[in-house]
Amino acid sequence: MFFASDNGAPAIPEALAALVEANAGGALGYGNDPWTRRAQEAVRAVLEAPEATVHFVTTGTAANSLALASLTPPWGAVFCHEDAHVQMDECGAPEFFTGGAKLIGLPGDAGRIAPDTLRAALAGDSGVHSVQPACLTLTTVTEAGTLYTLAQIAELAGIAHEAGLKVHLDGARLANALAATGASPADMTWRAGVDALSFGGTKNGLMGVEAVVIFDPAKGRELELRRKRAGHLASKMRYLSAQVPPWLEGGRWLDLAAHANAMAARLAEGLAARGARFLHPVEANMIFAAWPAGTHARLKAAGAVYYDWAPPGPGEEAARLVASWATTAAEVDAFLAAL
């Protein structure tokens, strides 16, 4: 009954098998190896972006910060949702990597930025006394477990581009968003106006593998230098790269995400049937649920692992519950039974 986070799930067997296979003989370091070339090709292929540059790193924070730094000068403003991971959960990494840019948190229901909110934030002139609007960063699946539609991403990216900003997508759970919407990776990213992507693998079955994808290849070299300078150029890169092709192959990554989403849906259905209410719509693999006070104790005694959330009202408790590729129907049902 592990619902703490999808980054607490184990790695898929194929990833481990690929590691074992890659662990033979000497190989040049720092990505100058065949595994890395194949993995980069595989990412470009699923994104239908043959010119994109692909840079593997081990954490989402690194991926986000490197991407933002390549899009934002030190005097830039990065617009994000006020609850975004880059704003709340990265200990100022974007500020560190950009050389001190300012993140502007925008409010928005259910983790999503509304077009008018963005328009209002971009209205007016930016004189020399204030930071300069430089970048919009969106997240889908959002921090609230909700999704942007393709049209919403495209509209927000359009507003940003018109104002001269670049667009980043934090896709730590991109696979879950794709599986939930059925959209193609290309449609949800560069065709919708995304300039740089954090392409997440860790939360969907890999062992600590994310990719920064830069759709304008002219920026690729800068990203390589930023990555090295941040200590994120792995010498034994093959152990990151080798995991990627079997994970992407045949849509395996989307199947894993679809399973996680399905487990969350099963859990949500059961919760609803037992009278829980939801702080946000359940659209992918995350649930924010409220239930009567006293429930936490019962669930945890039964062995459930998850994060408590701020209670929305008196007499209530709340929880964040995340399903992963490894969540089983039996786990879900045991949780519901314990409830």
For residue 220, report the phi and psi dihedrals to the nearest 5 degrees: -65, -45
Q: How far is the CB of 103 from its own copies (least distance, A)?
A: 7
The residues that bridge with 321 in the sheet, in sequence order, are: 287
Do 237 and 33 contact (CB within 8 A), yes or no? Answer: yes
CB of 276 to its own copies, least distance (A): 22
Q: Which is nearer to its own copies, 163 or 230 (CB)?
A: 230
Looking at beta carbons only, is 145 or 200 nearer to its own copies? 200
Nearest distance from C-beta of residue 265 to its own copies, angstroms: 19
Residue 1, classed as helix, strand or coil, is coil
Least distance from C-beta 24 to its own copies, angstroms? 6
CA distance 16 to 242: 9
Q: 152: buried, middle or exposed (CB in 10 Å: 19+, 13-18, 0-12)?
A: middle
> Toward its own copies, which CB reaches closer, 46 or 67?
67
Q: Which is nearer to its own copies, 23 or 292 (CB)?
A: 23
* Nearest-angstrom CA–CA distance, 332 and 111: 25
Of 110 and 230, CB closest to its own copies? 230
Contacts of 193 (CB under 8 A, 6+ apart): 153, 154, 157, 158, 160, 161, 167
Provide the minimum distance between the beta carbon of 150 and its own copies in the complex, in angstroms, as a whole number: 28
In the complex, the smallest distance separating the C-beta of residue 112 from its own copies, rounded to whole angstroms, is: 22
Given the complex with its own copies, which of 131 and 157 has the nearer CB atom?
131
Nearer of residues 35 and 190 to its own copies, judged by Cβ: 35
Phi then psi for 44, rounded to 5 degrees?
Answer: -60, -35
Look at the block and give the residue holding tokens 């899009």.
71
Q: How far is the CB of 28 from its own copies (least distance, A)?
A: 6
Minimum CB separation of residue 288 from its own copies in Å reads 18
Question: Between β-strands 307-309 and 316-322, what pairing exists: parallel, antiparallel or unpaired?
Answer: antiparallel
Comparing CB distances to its own copies, the nearer of 173 and 191 is 173
**Distances, alpha carbon 324 to alpha carbons 48, 82, 207, 319, in Å:** 26, 25, 14, 16
Of the candidates 174, 164, 100, 182, which has an alpha carbon nearest to the alpha carbon of residue 138?
A: 174
Fill in the DSSP letter of residue 107.
-
